Structure 1
Amino acid sequence: MDFSLNEEQKMMIETARKVGAQFGLEYWAELDRNKAFPKECWQAICEAGLVGAALPEEFGGSGLGMFELALIIEELAAGGGGATLGQLFMINPIFGGVSLSRFGNAAMKADLLPRLVAGDLNFCMALTEPDAGTNSLALKTMATADGEGWRLNGQKIWITAVDSAEKMLVIARTQKPEEVARPIQGISMFMIDVKRAGLTFAPIEKMGTNTLSSCSVFFDNVRIEPHELIGTLHNGFKELLDVLNTERIVTTAGMVGAGRLATRLAVDYAKDRKIFGNTPIGAYQGLQFPLAQSHAELECARLMNLKAAAQCDLGQAYGTEANMAKLIGSQAALHAIERGAQTMGGMGYAKEYHVERLWRDARLFKVAPISEEMILNYIAIHDLGLPKSY
């Protein structure tokens, strides 16, 4: 598989690098303190033409693919945003863009995708439930037929950026479990308005990723119109997997960028900080080796992620690669951030040196959007042929 870059790809990376540098560490530190959505940064990303890299040209995108999108996110995250930067692409080009471009009706694509690409419309996805968690097939939120549409009732949790979104991709049961032969049947996707009668949400106080809220969402007899169905009625779960697997790719790209950023901060510090005379601490192998190890781990995660993205673009199976990349990417990023903090000694604990924020944000991705344990289950069962354990 050839990962050499053409001129267009190099230009996109350079554009992403410039935008990332424009919104650097201090910008993200302030947003973290204020728990504020990065409006200015997101608008600049949209204006630079980076958001629609993997979306069709007819709707304002570039018509390229997940490979290019992963490269873009890496550079933006490395500029200062860290892992949270990947979440911005998760909620919009993935939850909004992938679901609509692959499974939306013509009218919905024409209306919503150009506004997404322009930065005029934000999205979120409501999948996780309090009593289901990783076991999405156990979801209880129900969309019951009501005339030509549906009525939605239930609860979701840990839903990202509801308060900044206008549209919500909702995954719900449209048939009861006892009415279907297999658990994956009877599940459908809908794209609805966040501001709608019966839909309420409440923020969850959390440790990190403060630039994007996390909320509990409640549906009380929420009306869904017929045209808001995304994909196939009762058979949306397999279509949802396309959304979830591409979500893994953008998550990993953000993690790789965060790890690169932490390593750069540590290297710069290690070159400048002198002890025991006039020797930079970066000259000591006790600090060199951990940083070199992190660099190697990040490169491996990056290559697996680019392989997943390339296979996705080619229409080949990429679930294993996307999951492996996410597993190693989250571990490599946290290793890099922790080693960066260790390099800085006591200053690694100080907010002014930024690695503490990078750690708080990156820690989420050991459990989200899928936990390490479930990825290992997937690999054991699907790739090693071991018996199912759950």
Structure 2
Amino acid sequence: MDFDLTDEQKMIAESARKVGEHFGLDYWRDHDARKAFPQEFWRAVCDAGLCGVALPEEHGGSGLGMVEMALIIEQLAAAGGGCTVGQLFMINPIFGGVSISRFGSEAMRRELLPKIISGEINCCMALTEPDAGSNSLEIKTFATRAGNGWRLSGRKIWITGVESAQKMLVIARTTKVEASPKRTHGLTMFMIDVAREGLTYAPIEKVGTNTLSACNVFFDDVEVDGSEIIGTLDGGWYELLDVLNTERIVTTAGLVGAADLAIRLAVDYAKDRRVFGGKPIASYQGLQFPLAQHWAEVQCARLMNLKAAAQFDAGKPFGTEANVGKLIASQAASAGIEQAMQTMGGMGFAKDMHVERLWRDARLFRFAPISEEMILNFIAGQNLGLPRSY
């Protein structure tokens, strides 16, 4: 079992670090305040070849893997972006890139993958519904046959990045539950234009991750061409799971980077801050121990996440590793960033110190893209063999 990075992986991580440092903390504070999509940052990521690292070479990617993508996200997040970086990779090379490269038609791959990899187009995914949050099998959005295509109607909620996207991965029912042989039958994935008649959206005001909007999305008899199906008609459930489990990997990588950044900011502050006789507060074990504890937990999450990525790249099952990594990372990052703020005292509450943004953003990932409780359900059933509790 080799835990060493290759020279190529080290170079990729260093390249990502340099791109991230070019923008830095003030860039992200400004975009957070303006609730502005970080277009310049994402363009630089794409120009450096980092967006397409795990996508096919024949379509402009590097043909490497999820390990390299995780390393990139860690560095970009730690350089200033925080958790939001994981979301940027989630909506573009995962929701757009992975879904198309693994399940899209050859024509779709030729047309869309180069544009995703170059940053010419952005993507989003419409899955969650008001009455079907974690229970995706209960979604009501329905695509009805209409000639060679479909008519799509329904509503989605908490859809990330719609306002900056040109393409949307939509998950809809194409066969009603009562007409399906089993609950997992009847779901289909479509890749459609965001700018399409009958598709409207409205932003949701939220606490953090302000550089990417979250929206209510409405489909009112939206026309969908037959060529816009991704994967198998009525058989999209297990294909969707492949996309969602890679979503866990990029989320965890963003959390690891954000926690590393917050702890580093706290350590730097503590070394400079002197009270009660002139000793730096960094010398106090009351501050050292909790920071060290959370740093250790983050490192464990990082290793589990890299294992998940390596399993994915090797074509092996990776769901347990991806979910466990995300569970530990979300808890450790939230606690570590909270402790960083506590270390700074009142200054940790000031926007100039940046930790409060990391704190607000990290809170989302205790329940998104999958909640801690649903991961524990997964572990209880899949790994412990316990009966379903729901």
The residue correspondences of 1:1-390 to structure 2 (distance < 5 A) are 1-390=1-390
Amino acid at match of 1:229: I
Look up the SS of the partner of 1:23 in the other structure: helix
Structure 2 SS opposite 1:334: helix
Deviations 1:286-321 (A, max 9, x none): 000011101100100000000000000000000011
Query: How far 1:2 moved relative to its partner?
Result: 1.7
**How far off its partner does 1:181 sit?**
1.5
CA distance in structure 2 between the partners assigned to 1:385 and 1:8 by the alignment: 40
- RMSD of aligned C-alpha atoms? 0.5
State how far apart, in whole Å, the 2-side matches of 1:15 and 1:158 are.
33
- In 1: Cα distance, 2:72 partner to 2:174 partner: 37
Q: Cα distance, 1:83 vs. partner?
A: 0.4
* Structure 1, gaps ≥5 residues long: none
SS of the aligned residue for 1:24 comes to helix
Aligned partner letter, 1:48: A
Report the Cα offset of residue 3 of structure 1: 2.4
Deviation at 1:276, TM superposition (A): 1.3
Aligned to 2:144, the other structure's residue is in SS state: strand
How far apart are the structure 2 equivalents of 1:182 and 1:332?
Answer: 38
* Separation (CA, whole Å) in 2 of partners of 1:315 and 1:157: 32
Deviations 1:129-153 (A, max 9, x none): 0000000000000001111111000
TM-score of the superposition, structure 1-length normalised? 0.99
Deviation digits for residues 63-110 of structure 1 (CA, Å, limit 9, x no counterpart): 000011000000000000100110000000000000000000011100
Aligned residues: 390
Segments of 5+ residues of structure 2 without an aligned counterpart are none
Amino acid at match of 1:59: H
Partner AA of 1:365 in structure 2: F
Tell me the amino acid that sits aligned with residue 104 of structure 2. G
Equivalent-residue separation in structure 2 for 1:203 and 1:338 (angstroms): 28
Give the aligned residue type for 1:350.
A
